[in-house]
Amino acid sequence: MNPVILVTADVREVDQYTLHAAIDIYLKALAGVGATPLILPSLAGDIDLDSVLGRVDGVLTTGARSNVHPGHYGDEPTTGHEPYDHDRDATTLDLIRKTIKASVPLLAICRGFQELNVALGGTLDTEIHELEDRADHRPPVSDDHDVRFGLAHEVDLEPGSTLAAILKTERVAVNSLHRQAVRDLAPGLIVEALADDGTVEAVRVADAGAFALGVQWHPEYWAGSDPPSRAIFTAFRNAAAETMARRAGDSPLPAAAE
């Protein structure tokens, strides 16, 4: 049996219908390392998240075109904060807190990484390319996803960090597709990686009862061909498999191949 991973959903209007959807790149990355993705609709109070978390083995919070509404971290909204997805905010911020409390493995990517910081009390900067001494972390303008998601810069991994242990290196090349970034790090988060301009690129939850890692970049896009990207998903999948086995009272499932 494969571990079941809950995947967050964006809310979109298509052909006069409201869709709760996840980009298939995330789903394929999970399936590619031996996990079964399950999309959670962004229905906020209409879903018993505690009950759901008791039936899945991990949670993936995805990237998205939308940004966390600044009201969730005490800022006034501006055009620089847009676009928004209020239904996703209302669902995912609570989901993250409950996931950590329940000791369910968590992998947070891009918007999901920013959600993790906000959910635990941190803040975000917007349009960081306009800030002094900060690089432009936006993707190149292109209709070719291979170009947009191309490896753009390197990050330094903190010595002794969880991510350094997973990737077995101190510096790794990542892609970059974001306008916003961590401003004030949330209490309970520990920096795992920094870009050369000081942008926080990865964090872990301190004293978490399970794997709980967030990255600002998009390892899902290259999980099939880039060893560091695949290693992150493999480590997450293996943590979820351990959770499933522990709940079942069985011996741990075989680890996915790196």
Residue 129 catalytic? no
Catalytic residue among 69, 81, 218, 242: 218
pLDDT (mean) for 162-171: 96
- In which band, very low, low, confident or very high, does the pLDDT at 45 lie, cut at 50, 70 and 90? confident
Q: How many residues does this entry show for the chain?
A: 258
Least confident of 87-96, 128-137, 158-167: 128-137
Q: pLDDT category, 160, cuts 50, 70, 90?
A: very high
Task: Please tell me the number of Cα atoms within 13 Å of 34 on its side-chain side.
Answer: 17
Give the whole-angstrom CA distance, residue 158 versus residue 127: 26
| Mean pLDDT value across residues 139-167 | 96
21 is a domain residue: yes
Residue 254 domain flag: no
Whether 81 is a known active-site residue: answer no
Average pLDDT over residues 139-149: 95
- Please check whether residue 257 lies inside any domain of the structure: no
**Mean predicted confidence (pLDDT) in 147-169:** 96
pLDDT at 190: 98
More confidently predicted of 252 and 84: 84
Of 115, 201, 220, 242, which residue is the catalytic one? 220
The total number of structural domains that make up the chain: 1
**Model confidence at 229, in pLDDT bands (50, 70, 90)?**
very high
pTM as predicted: 0.94
Looking at residue 258, what is its pLDDT?
57
Question: What gap in Å lies between CA 119 and CA 252, rounded to an integer?
Answer: 31
Catalytic residue among 69, 110, 115, 178: 110
DSSP bridge pairs for 191:
203
Q: Is residue 108 part of a domain?
A: yes
Is the pLDDT at 171 greater than 70? The verdict is yes
Q: Is residue 258 part of a domain?
A: no
CATH number (domain holding residue 178): 3.40.50.880
CB 256 within 8 A of CB 18: no
232 assigned to some structural domain: yes
Q: What is the mean pLDDT of residues 83-90?
A: 97
Closest CA to 10 of 89, 120, 80, 70: 89
User: pLDDT digits over 177-225, tens only?
Assistant: 999 999 999 999 999 999 999 999 999 999 999 999 999 999 999 999 9
Query: Catalytic residue at 242?
Result: no
Full residue range of the structural domain in which residue 196 is found: 4-248
Residue 80 pLDDT: 85
Tokens encoding 15: 């052909």
Instruction: Compute the average pLDDT of residues 110-116.
Output: 98
Res. 174 pLDDT band, cuts 50 70 90: very high
